[in-house]
Amino acid sequence: MDPRAGTLAQPQDLIDVDAVVGAYYDLSPDVDDPAQKVVFGTSGHRGSSLDHAFNEAHIIAITAAIVEYRRAQGTDGPLFIGRDTHALSLPAWQTAIEVLTAAGVQTYIDARDSYTPTPAVSQSILLHNGAATEAGVRTTGPELADGIVVTPSHNPPRDGGFKYNPPHGGPADSEATGWIADRANEILRSGVGHVERVPLKRALTAETTHRHDFLTAYVDDLASVLDLEAIRGAGVAIGADPLGGASVEYWGEIGERYGLDLTVVNPQVDPRWAFMTLDWDGKIRMDCSSPYAMASLVQKMTDPDATSTFDIATGNDADSDRHGIVTPDAGLMNPNHYLAVAIDYLYGGARPGWRPDAAIGKTLVSSSLIDRVGAGIGRRVEEVPVGFKWFVPGLLDGSVGFGGEESAGASFLRTNGGVWTTDKDGLLLALLASEILATTGMTPSQHHARLVEQYGESWYARVDAPASLEEKSALARLSPDQVTSTTLAGEEITAKLTTAPGNGAAIGGLKVTTENAWFAARPSGTENVYKIYAESFVSAEHLTQVQDEAKQVVSDALGG
């Protein structure tokens, strides 16, 4: 823990925007260096221009590879492209437009020449492909749309990111991203000079470049997925903090369009994020699930001398696909706690238009409180590996009503059971907190206290442990037989999992469960560490014991 965690950023913490953008154009990657190649994680390619990991050559190559991929898949409709507020997002967006225009792709950009949240791109793709029609979404056939979002999500200001969303509207699966990354690296190796581009000024006025009002399309459609009339009628006072991200203009429009008592707490956009408080490690990170990054908003909500009072306050990350929920009685909610509350509310009668067999989607590192809630309300819980892409099929056909990740990302169906977004939607989950308060008279944190009384209290945490590239690779290939322990923290081990129970997909790591606890270990995709997630329904001390023994179990399995 950095001693300055939760305190306002100082000048020495801020990036030099000119240096970061200059490096984007001036530096070139070495494809023989693994750290400088194109690598797609669970949310696209990410890196910093200063590290030769996110430069113009990368974006030329990735965009060219996406053009080839969508052509090979027969995707010949429009491509919707959005960007967030990171310093590298605009230059990368411009580079992509130049390549897409030269390739003749019908490209739809924001009509306001502004920022576009990830869920707005997903929703526009799905609307084009039939989401709001009786026939539902098409994922095959002519004139299908897809999209690109230029964002590194909640990453520090020095980073850039680039995501591809195919016609199903959600994050591309591993087969697609693997092909795109391999092809992009081939293009990098042969030199990006042969990739055709149209100069930006001409590209922006080309016949293939169209203006699309992402904001209006998204905001006007919100009433199909939320009870906004109830929020307005109850007079819920909402404080929405975009954390300097892409939702900054959306929140004001939502409040005005639906007559809500909504205040945009901080409308400032600064690619240095000088107004942020530092995260746990002393870095600026727009993580709306972190009490350190959210310290300013939490103080506004819990300080009795604060001039503004809200019933609910919310935060979003830079591309608005994550949510943070702050209540006056509890401060910032743990993401797992809020997911459980949202599930209990939505499946408990608030959405009668959903299929009666619609499952609850959770990742295997999310709290087991969700499993207990699911059992209590008689709904099947579908546990999948880490990554929102695993929820896409179920959200598309309505067989999954809600999909959520422990990292504070989720989405759910329209009130009629149709698909809303197949990517995480931080604005949606933030507004749901106000709907819960409006219709039940209780804050989400009060609902969580009720769930604890019913299902028991749990303690949950994630820690990182050092791991070499070889150890990370070995961890991803573990088999249950390599775990020789029979007990964990004093309880008999009930399962040793390397595949997800919900769909049988490899989890890229290991999960071990007992009656009252579990841990999961998986390698990081960006650092030389592995992550240990753990939860105990016994005590905080028991959680620590689970974590300590988890490290030993993994070490033994890796031959340490």
Residue 502 located in a structural domain: yes
The answer to whether residue 305 sits within a structural domain is no
pLDDT at 525: 67
Taking 50 as the pLDDT cut, the residues of the chain under it are none
Separation of alpha carbons 268 and 417, rounded Å: 36
329 located within any domain: no
Beginning with the edge strand found earlier in the chain, give each strand of the sheet holding 40-41 in spatial order: 40-41, 44-48, 159-165, 146-150, 79-83, 107-110, 209-212
Of 185, 217, 249, the one marking the end of a domain is: 217
- Enter the tokens of residue 60: 């030329």
In the residue annotation, 153 being an active-site residue is answered as: yes
Give the burial class of 512: count Cβ atoms within 10 A of its Cβ; 0-12 exposed, 13-18 middle, 19 or more buried.
buried
Let me know: does 180 contact 62? Beta carbons within 8 Å: yes
| 477 within domain boundaries | yes
Does the residue 295 lie in any domain? no
- Quote the radius of gyration of the chain (alpha carbons, Å): 23
Q: Which residue range(s) make up the domain with 212?
A: 11-217
Residue 233 maps to a domain = no
pLDDT at 558: 76
Q: Find the catalytic residue in 43, 89, 122, 153.
A: 153
Q: In Å, what is the CA distance from 4 to each residue of 86, 100, 276?
A: 23, 44, 12
**Rounded to an integer, what distance in angstroms lies between the CA atom of residue 212 and that of residue 214?**
6
Residue in 41, 78, 130 with CA at minimum distance from that of residue 396: 130
- Across the beta sheet with 323-327, the strand order is 261-264, 237-241, 312-316, 323-327, 331-332
Q: Measuring CA to CA, which residue among 73, 77, 61, 67 is closest to residue 101?
A: 67
The total of structural domains in the chain comes to 2
Tell me which of 182, 217, 252 is where a domain ends. 217
Residues 6+ apart with CB under 8 A from 313: 238, 239, 240, 241, 265, 297, 300, 301, 325, 326, 327
In sequence order, what are the residues at sequence separation of 6 or more whose Cβ sits closer than 8 angstroms to the Cβ of residue 411? 119, 388, 391, 395, 402, 403, 420, 421, 422, 423, 424, 425, 428, 429
Residue-wise pLDDT tens digits, 525-557? 666 778 899 999 999 999 999 999 998 888 887
Please give the model's pTM, rounded to 2 decimal places: 0.95
- Per-residue pLDDT of 398-449, as tens digits, reads 999 999 999 999 999 999 999 999 999 999 999 999 999 999 999 999 999 9
Whole-angstrom distance, CA of residue 419 vs CA of residue 301 = 33
The verdict on residue 30 lying in a domain is yes
CA–CA gap between residue 521 and residue 530 (Å, rounded): 7
CATH of the domain at 495: 3.30.310.50
Helix spans in 384-535 (H)? 392-397, 426-440, 444-455, 469-476
Instruction: Classify residue 388 by its DSSP letter.
Output: G
Look at residues 166, 189, 217 and tell me which one is the last residue of a structural domain. 217
Structure confidence at residue 149 (pLDDT): 98
Residue 265 covered by a domain = no
Can you give the CATH number for the domain in which 15 is found?
3.40.120.10
